[in-house]
Structure formats: C-alpha cells, structure tokens
Copies of this chain bind each other. A is one copy, B any other.
Amino acid sequence: MAQTLRVSRSDSRLPQILDEAARLFREKGYAATSMRDIAAAVDMLPGSLYYHFAAKEDLLVAVYEEGVRLISEKVRAAISRHEEPWQKLEAAAVAHLEALLKTGDYALVVIRVLPQDVPKAAARLVKLRDSYDRLFAELVAALPLPPETDRQSFRLLLLGALNWSQHWFRESGRNSPRSIARSFLRLLREEQKT
C-alpha cells in the first residue's frame, strides 16, 4: 500500500501557515490580507485556521515573534564573531540587512507592519520591537566616539537607513545587503579614523 510519508502529527501544518501568512502580510500588508487569502495559500478552508489561531491578530503576532527571533539570532551570532566595537557594529548591520532583504518575509513583516495598524495587538508588537532595538543601543554605546557625539542620533540614523532600504533595494551584481551595510557604516565611521 502506498503509505504516504507522514511526519509526526504534532506540528502538522502550522509552519506552512506561518510561512504563507508572513509572505502575504509582507506583500500586501496586514489589513489587505484576508484570512481567506491565507487559507487558500495553504489549501485549507478559512475556518480551519481558527484551530491554530484564535484570531487574525494572533496570527500576526506569531509571525512577528518569529521575525524578531530570526533577526535577533542572526545579529547576535554575527556580533559574537568579533571583538572590536566597530567591527561588531558592522557585522550587526550586515546581519540585520541580510535578515531583512534575504531571509525575507518574517523579518520584513516586523518592520513593515506597524503596531498601530493592529490596535488590539499593538502593545505586544511594540514590546517585541523594543527587545530588538536594545541590541543595537548596546553596540553603539560601546563605540569609541568623541565625547560630544550624540549616540542616540547615531543609532537612529543607522537603523533608520537600514530599515528604509526595504523600499528601494533591488538585488544586483554590485548591490548586496552586505555592500550596502558597509557603505553606510563607512560614511559614519570615516570621521573617527582621522
């Protein structure tokens, strides 16, 4: 008999649901993505999604959590490979951008879907975002900068530019997440070398 290969049932199709939800939330935004869209993408009936998630917002929160987890993990790993503060920051910037522009969907949802777009889940989303922001704050705090430097502005400048790149980035021969992150950091770092 053709016993269809069956993995244990426990995590059945939940990962697939999250994948497609992430893809659709990223592509069309939260409000413009319907539960029916997601159901169709995983070849299910709309109501069946509610076995896995109590509400649409909870599905978004789950994607958000995975997004933050993925990107944090990548950045932490990159940081740990260096000792010098500027190198740590550069590695973090590269990892951040690669997670955003290559890993794709999950991470992009985090910076594309605004907490205010989902009032009922806004608090949870903000909390997840903040936990990540702290990572970069620590890196910037460790930089050997002139005493009059505004470190908060420094962080906001860098992270803002990195996040905004989603709007214009197109992969190409000389354009990679890595090269962009490095270009940005070079523009910010040069003053320190003198």
Interface residues of A (CB under 8 A from B): 27-29, 31-32, 114, 116-117, 149-150, 153-154, 156-165, 167-168, 180, 183-184, 186-188, 190-191, 194
**Complex CA distance for A149 and B191, rounded to whole angstroms:** 13
Minimum C-beta distance from A73 to chain B (A): 23
Give the dominant DSSP class at A's interface. Answer: helix
**A150 touching B29 by the CB < 8 A rule?**
no
Instruction: Please name the residue on chain B nearest to A129 by beta carbon.
Output: B167
B153 touches A164 (CB 8 A): no
The complex places the Cα of A109 from the Cα of B187 at a distance, in Å, of 29
Given A161-B160, A161-B164, is A190 in contact with B191 using a C-beta cutoff of 8 Å? yes
Tell whether, in the assembled complex, residue A157 and residue B157 are in contact, meaning their CB atoms are under 8 Å apart.
yes
Smallest CB–CB gap between A155 and chain B, Å? 10
In the bound complex, how far is the Cα of B164 from the Cα of A34, in angstroms? 27
Residues of B within 8 A of A162 (CB): 160
- Distance A184 CA – B188 CA, assembled complex (angstroms): 10
> Across the interface, do B150 and A183 meet the contact criterion of CB distance under 8 Å?
yes
Complex A-B, nearest 4 residue pairs according to Cβ-Cβ distance, in ascending order = A160-B164, A31-B31, A191-B191, A160-B161
A184-B168 in contact (CB<8A): no
Closest to A182 in B: B153
Give the complex CA separation of A31 and B24 in angstroms: 14
Q: A150-B183, A157-B161 are in contact. Are A167 and B114 (CB under 8 A)?
A: yes
Min CB gap A172→B, angstroms: 13
Contact B191 A117 (CB under 8 A): no
Interface centre among A114, A158, A164, A188 (most CB of B within 10 A): A164
